[in-house]
Amino acid sequence: MTRRSSPGSFRRLVRLHYAASERDADMLYATGFSAPDPFLFLQVNGQRSMAVSDLELDRARSTARVRQVLRWSEYERQVAKAGTPTSPARVIAAILRARGIRRCAVPQSFSHGLAVQLVGEGIHITPLPDPFWPARERKQADEVRAIMRAQRAAEAGLAAGIELLREARIGRNGYLYGLGRRLSAEDLRQRIDATVLAHGALAAHTICACGPQSVDPHEQGHGPLRAHRPIIIDVFPRSQATGYHGDLTRTVVRGQAGDRLCELYATVRAGVRIGLASLRPRASGQEIHRAILDFFTSHGFPTGNAHGRMEGFFHGTGHGVGLEIHEAPSIGPRRPSTLRRGHVVTIEPGLYYSELGGLRIEELALVEQNGCRNLTRAPHIFEL
């Protein structure tokens, strides 16, 4: 059906994509146009165009960052006049044939079924290796501002959650009480997410994991919250206006943390400082991760299999953030990466032990010419 070839093998490189930009970061990046339904994007020799339904036509023409917006229904009628049932593949093929295009490059995420149908219409499809838009990795000034606005929403949500915990009463049974009842992870998440929404962003799967639940880094948290135990709060909202994300984690204890837990917190905070101090152009993501891992081990917090599960620092140090919450580059042990100016990345080391609980702190930073700029303003508060 398809064969891989280098972009240089095309006489004129045509990039094609068909997807809903609300759910596809490549489409949103290419067009700056957010839509819930799929539409067609084309780039021919650097000139970008798109074809949308009549419902989206006026909005696309006024806001999309493309040279030309085509009317999808016009080509749909042409297909119908030819006596064949209309389908996205046939309409796309009609648009391409009208421009003398027979070969297109598509992203790895392109629908396989649609690719098969386009080949049946005489269009040669070649999937390009990721990233489809390499420039997405290095953020421009307007993208950094958009990420910072999303981060401000995350910070507002975090502050609201911490205030709820601060106001909670510690019961004799060790549970937290607030809102007229035993306070739960669901209550905390609802307060955070509602505040994020009021600041123009959407939070999904916000983590509010307490005590034993905090040992699982991606456990969202559920049920009653307890005093004197770590509560990991991880907020990663998406701006409704731009589609860019923020990402922020703090760990707090309502009540008093034991000496060993305080030591754990101090060690993770020091690991964050090591990571931020290492962010600069040409730095190795793997080496940054290794330095933090070695620091943790040297301070009595090893990583390995214990009690049938991994404990210690067993996830990556960080990742890129942009139109997707996890983007290139990776700062971790498995995927090699070299940092460059314009990368926006997280530094989020954590330590997780069954007898203590989990503890993670996360900052969001922009790699600049001589180091990095921390984009996070949230204070570091541990005991409430």
Are 264 and 321 contained in the same domain?
Answer: yes
Q: Give the domain-ending residue among 132, 164, 192.
A: 132
Spatial distance between the Cα atoms of 78 and 12, rounded to a whole number of angstroms: 26
Exposed (0-12), middle (13-18) or buried (19+): which is 46, by Cβ within 10 Å? exposed
Residues 54-97 pLDDT 10s: 999 999 999 999 999 999 999 999 999 999 899 999 999 999 99
Same domain as 242, residue 187:
yes
Any domain includes 209: yes
List pLDDT tens digits, range 125-145: 999 999 999 999 999 999 999
Q: Which residue matches tokens 């290492």?
A: 278
Q: How would DSSP label each residue in 114-180?
A: HHHHHHHTT-EEEEPPSPSSGGGGSPPHHHHHHHHHHHHHHHHHHHHHHHHHHH-EE-TTSBEEETT
Of 127, 125, 213, 210, the closest CA to residue 175 belongs to: 210
Instruction: Tell me the pTM.
Output: 0.93
Averaged pLDDT of the chain: 95
On whether both 169 and 203 belong to a single domain, the answer is: yes
Q: What's the total number of domains in the chain?
A: 2
Same domain, 191 and 338: yes
**pLDDT recorded at residue 2:** 36
**Maximum C-alpha span of the chain:** 78
CA 233, CA 360: separation in Å to the nearest integer? 9
We report the CATH number of the domain holding residue 64 as: 3.40.350.10
Let me know whether 260 and 338 are in one domain: yes
Provide the pLDDT for residue 279: 98
Residue ending a domain, among 100, 132, 164, is 132
Residues 213, 252 contacting (CB under 8 angstroms): no
Q: Tell me, yes or no, whether 124 lies in a domain.
A: yes
Tabulate helix, strand, coil % of the chain (nearest 5). Answer: 35, 25, 40
Asked if residue 132 lies in contact with residue 16, where contact means CB atoms within 8 angstroms, the answer is no
Do 326 and 180 share a structural domain? yes
Co-location of 21 and 127 in the same domain: yes
- Using DSSP, how many helices (H) and how many strands (E) does the chain show? 9, 23
Chain centre distance of CA 110: 20
Report the CATH number that the domain containing residue 359 is assigned in CATH.
Answer: 3.90.230.10
Domain assignment present for residue 116? The answer is yes
Q: In this structure, are 245 and 350 located in the same domain? A: yes
Would 103 be classed as within a structural domain?
Answer: yes
Look at residue 307 in the predicted model and tell me its pLDDT: 81
Residue with tokens 């950094």: 144
Distance (Å, rounded) from C-alpha 45 to C-alpha 26?
18
Tokens 């219409």 correspond to 121
Give the CA distances from residue 193 to residues 12, 46, 184, 281, 332, in Å, rounded to whole numbers and listed in that order.
47, 40, 14, 35, 29
- Has residue 286 been placed in a domain? yes
Evaluate if residue 376 carries a pLDDT over 60.
yes
Residues 84 and 150 in one domain: no
State the residue range of the domain holding 364: 138-374
| pLDDT tens string 203-247 | 999 999 999 999 999 999 999 999 999 999 999 999 999 999 999
- Domain assignment of residue 239, yes or no: yes
* Apex 218 CA angle, 192 and 359, nearest 5: 80
Q: What is the pLDDT of residues 347-359, one digit of tens each?
A: 999 999 999 999 9
Examine the domain organization and report whether 206 and 348 are in the same domain.
yes
Whether 149 and 52 map to the same domain: the answer is no
Per residue in 361-375, pLDDT (tens digit) is 999 999 999 999 999
Alpha helices, DSSP H only, in the chain? 25-31, 54-63, 72-81, 88-98, 112-120, 141-167, 185-198, 259-278, 285-298
Last residue of a domain, one of 70, 103, 132: 132
Does residue 380 fall inside a structural domain?
no
Say if 382 falls within a structural domain: no
Residues 153 and 44 in one domain: no
